[in-house]
Amino acid sequence: ANLKSQSPRETTRMFVWIAHLLFLDEKAQTKGLIVVDDMADIGFWDYMTMLPIQVGISVDRFLISVTPLKAKNVVLMHRPKWAEIGYSLLSWFLTKKMKNRVTMVEKGQENDMMMKVVGGAKFIPIDFSDVEGLISK
C-alpha cells in the first residue's frame, strides 16, 4: 500500500510490526540487515514528505533508541540527481567503514549488483523494481 494513503497511525503500526518481526530473527540481529532503497528517481519534495512529519519523527526515535539492529549495507538505486549530490556532500563526513556500508547501484547494473549484494534472486521479491527476484507474496 502507498504510505500516503494510510493514516499516520497505521503507518507507524506497520513500522513497529516490521521491527518486531526483525527482532525475532536472530540473523538480523547478529549479521545485520541489507536495506535496499529504489528511489525511482523521485523528486526531493516527494521523498522528504513521503511520511507525515510526526510519523517520521516517531519512527526515527523508535529505530534509534529501541532497535537492536544494525544496517550491514544500504543500497541506493535509481537515484535522482539531488540524492547523488547530497550523498557526495555527506560522504566527506563519513568514515571509511560507513562508506563501505553504502552501495550505489548505477543505472543498467541493478540486476547484477543486487545479485551480488543481496545474495541472489531468492532474497528479492518478484515485483521489486526491475530486478529478477523470486520471492512471491
**Residue for grid cell 547523488:** 84
Q: What are phi and psi of 85, to 5 degrees?
A: -65, -45
Is residue 51 within 8 Å of 14, Cβ to Cβ? Answer: no
How far is the C-alpha of 58 from the C-alpha of 53, rounded, in Å? 9
In this prediction, residue 96 has a pLDDT band, given cuts at 50, 70 and 90, of: very high
**What is the pLDDT at residue 83?**
93
How far is the C-alpha of 9 from the C-alpha of 136, rounded, in Å? 27
Q: Say which range, 66-70, 111-115, 123-127, has the weakest mean pLDDT.
A: 66-70
- Report which listed range, 80-89, 98-107, 117-126, is most confident: 80-89
Q: Read off the pTM.
A: 0.76
Mean pLDDT of 48-69: 78
How far is the C-alpha of 42 from the C-alpha of 137, rounded, in Å? 25
State yes or no: pLDDT of 2 exceeds 70: no
In this prediction, residue 70 has a pLDDT band, given cuts at 50, 70 and 90, of: confident
How far is the C-alpha of 35 from the C-alpha of 76, rounded, in Å? 9
**What is the pLDDT at residue 84?**
93
Mean pLDDT of 107-111: 86
Mean pLDDT over the full length of the chain:
84
